[in-house]
Amino acid sequence: MTGEKGNKLARVIPEESLNEKLASEPQLDKTSQNRIGDQLRAMYDELMQQPVPDRFKDLLEKLERSSGEKAK
């Protein structure tokens, strides 16, 4: 059974069986886990290729200088 509004793939869970569903440990099948892992790795690899913005470099330099002054 699907809900009338929104995502047609969403299933309506009868309220009486809701507690059973929530009590069990949520699990994904191996295929879904692998697909999510592959997508996360691809996103991370793409992110790591991006240059560090100059304003972040400036902030890091200020932090290092401040830490160095406190250590003296």
Separation of alpha carbons 13 and 24, rounded Å: 14
Buried b (16+ CB within 10 A) or exposed e, 13-34: eeeeeeeeeeeeeeeeeeeeee
Residue 47, pLDDT score: 93
Separation of alpha carbons 38 and 43, rounded Å: 9
CA-wise closest residue to 33 among 25, 44, 41: 41
Mean pLDDT per 10-residue section of the chain, whose length is 72 residues = 52 66 74 95 95 94 87 66
